[in-house]
Amino acid sequence: MKSGETELPEYSSSDEDFVDPWHVASKSATGIDYDKLITKFGSQKIDDNLITKIENLTGKRAHHLLRRGVFFSMRDMHGILTLYEQKQPFYLYTGRGPSSEAMHLGHLIPFIFTKWLQETFDVPLVIQLTDDEKFIWNDITVEEANRYAHENAKDIIALGFDINKTFIFSDIEYISSCPEFYMNICKVQKLVTYSQVKGIFGFDVSDSIGKISFPAIQAAPSFSSSFPRLFKSKKDIPCLIPCAIDQDPYFRMTRDVAQKLGGVKPAVIHSTFVPALQGVQTKMSASDPNASIFLTDTDEEIRIKIKRYADSEGGINMTDEHKKRGSYLTDISYQYLTYLMTDDDKFTQIERDYACGVLAREQLQEILIKLLQKIIGKHRQNRALVTKEMVKQYMTPRNLECSIVT
């Protein structure tokens, strides 16, 4: 894309699938049409060539979330790979909106993949906790939002991010301690008009000015100059953002202003959404306990939820008719296994057996329940080991280690 050219498609409420940072809905029984979303958002599909290129450059098998198409779309990934090839630095930026104490499975997916990116490319990572955003949008106090940020930081730390390469920050805290971060926010705010955010996010005149100006705060960590203490004041390190596709509007806006404020356009890699327990037409949501598997759910709660809800066909077993319809692809238990089962041989076998009806839905659910209980049980144990002191360490700005960034 030439500089000065805009990449901001207009917000439209008339399309069949609806995806923005706050709503995800599809009228289709097969869920969101992600190929259409690529066209609508103007991103690029992750194809086999790109996956092979990643494998060849890193000498490592691509992560199952890449191979199974969960991370399916991108902007400028080839540029990032060229940097890696030339031993030039880049850093990762991702985030979490701390809307409640409990995170769910859907929140975990981008972080699991981000950890793999960090380990594979050996790069620093910044994680933004948007407590300001959640205060502005939700019915919670600013103190609660800040407390949730610290609680969520524990879940993120429990995934095992390298302390020497990872900085986690709450917006509320970091804005008041780092002038360079706030300076970048101001620069973005000056460059984006109300009419542009209205076009990108669908805001209208009744929305608070907090909502209208927030996108600048999510944009600013895309610029390494927002982190002078992390990168030894190196101001132009390129950034790669792993996120779910609903966050893309923020980064379209960011890319549009990047060069005007003297920064580098961030690259982005997008994932699909983990569907709600009730079906593929929407995503897991923290505000609906019955739609989500929480990281705090007990073994029994997991069993009950999968049995009761993850049953898009109303409890039937695999029948000839079911087979004919090929409906296993939209089956929630099958979908969750796509995200969670790391063993490829096992996954392929299950897929084959389920598609042809050798494996019944109940058996598939049993496999999922066991796997979920194992993953969430392990997470619970790891989280219990995260101390306040550790949270403080991750959240203290300090020089981040990286073999390339000097």
Question: From CA 134, how far away is CA 149, in angstroms rounded?
Answer: 10
Q: Report how many helices (DSSP H) and strands (DSSP E) the chain contains, helices first.
A: 19, 11
Smallest distance, Å, CB 365 to ligand TRP?
29
- The residue among 96 and 379 lying less far from ligand TRP, judged by its C-beta, is 96
Smallest distance, Å, CB 149 to ligand TRP?
11
Helix (H, G, I), strand (E, B) or coil at 300: helix
Smallest distance, Å, CB 223 to ligand TRP?
13
Question: Quick one: which segment of 27-35, 128-136, 196-204, 285-293 binds ligand TRP (CB under 6 A)?
Answer: 128-136
Contacts of 71 (CB under 8 A, 6+ apart): 46, 63, 65, 113, 242, 269, 270, 271
Contact flag: residue 168 with ligand TRP (CB under 6 A): no
Q: Which DSSP string corresponds to 247-268?
A: GHHHHHHHHHHHGGGT-PPPEE
Smallest distance, Å, CB 241 to ligand TRP?
5
Calculate the alpha carbon distances from 384 to 75, 313, 390 in Å: 37, 37, 12
- The residue among 97 and 275 lying less far from ligand TRP, judged by its C-beta, is 97
Contacts of 122 (CB under 8 A, 6+ apart): 165, 402, 403, 404
CB atoms inside a 10 Å sphere around CB 47 = 11
- The residue among 149 and 337 lying less far from ligand TRP, judged by its C-beta, is 149
- The residue among 243 and 310 lying less far from ligand TRP, judged by its C-beta, is 243
Smallest distance, Å, CB 252 to ligand TRP?
13
Judged by CB under 6 A, the chain residues 83 through 122 that form the site for ligand TRP are 93-97
Q: Which position among 73, 100, 114, 128 is part of the footprint of ligand TRP (CB under 6 A)? A: 128
Q: Which position among 149, 243, 295, 395 is part of the footprint of ligand TRP (CB under 6 A)? A: 243
Question: From CA 95, how far away is CA 185, in angstroms rounded?
Answer: 16
> Per-residue string for binding with ligand TRP, 197-236, x by CB under 6 A?
---------------------x------------------
Calculate the alpha carbon distances from 190 to 175, 178, 216 in Å: 17, 19, 9
Residue ranges binding ligand TRP (CB under 6 A) = 93-97, 128, 130, 133, 218, 241, 243, 247
